[in-house]
Structure 1
Amino acid sequence: MTRPAAVLFDRDGTLVEDVPYNGDPDRVRPLPGARRALDLLRAAGVATGVVSNQSGIGRGLLTDAQVRRVNERADALLGGLGTWVYCPHPPGAGCACRKPRPGLVTEAARRLGVAPADCVVIGDIGADVLAARAAGARGVLVPTAATLPEEIEAAPRTAPDLLTAVRLLLAESATGPESGGEPG
């Protein structure tokens, strides 16, 4: 297993507490271990980004400006990520960007100057892992109360929490299965 060139994260339920249709930056709360996980990736020279469905914009529940302010607050609390890409469309819009489609992942990879195949996507629901697969990236599911049992069963890889997921990615790339490290 090679070190990923970039790790792309889902926002809500993965990096920050999931507040449905949050347009208020003051309600942004990083999840436990999120800042530490990002610090480890930055220290290892791995690019980071966020790929997030934000259907509240298309549904008329949020404005683009509100989503940007929430993202800016999360970015500040988490120490800065390389790129933020989000889909403003409602479900059923047929866009290419809404997860589980690959558009967000491929755009984030393009912005970071890496190939999608050199990315890992970490998220809390099946759509995150499916978007990774559709883009040719690797996916890691970090289940939460919102994760369906069938999504956990179908995931190629799971981790109990975000910090563990990142530590495993970095440890595997440092040791690799050929060096006695556990395969993924």
Structure 2
Amino acid sequence: MAGRVTQIWTTAEESAPMEPVEGIEAVDGGLAGDRYQRGTGYYSPFDVCEVTFVAGEALDRIREEAGLDLSDGQHRRNVVTRGVDLGDLLAARFRVGQAVFEGTRPRPPCRHVEEVAELDGLMDALRERGGICADVVEPGPFRVGDGVEYLEDTSFDGEGLAAAIRDRESQR
């Protein structure tokens, strides 16, 4: 996988404008100081994605097809990538800089992102292009320009569940 990070966005509070940064620390619970890591996101604590990733190519298609330019962070995702099939990172561990993430689920668009951006049609434009959620597995810094390195598949194989059950039973 030859992908890389092209932008990083964060904001400290729900509905506040996203701010670009050149580098950031992935910490337990998300990106240092970001709204979901701080517990101040719009969906906290009910529907939290520690870190969100979106493909720059998807944002290009949205601009071309829907005429919506999201280059200023109105997509409300944390990390913009290029050259990465984000679907390949679901149920997988991957490294960005010194941090390791695990892709947990697709990140569908919501009405809130459209309301904050004040862009009619944004929710529909992001459908099937909203990126993914990921958890921080190993904290560490990363920067714009860092590569995205696929590490391993973490999808369910049955043995992980069996081991978790054995561990839980042994703790009783």
Same fold (TM over 0.5): no
Question: Rg: which structure is higher?
Answer: 2
- Structure with more of its chain in helix, by fraction: 1
Q: Select the structure that is richer in strand.
A: 2
| TM-score normalized by the length of structure 1 | 0.29
TM-score by length of 2: 0.31
Q: Which has the higher contact order (CA 8 A, sep 6+)?
A: 2
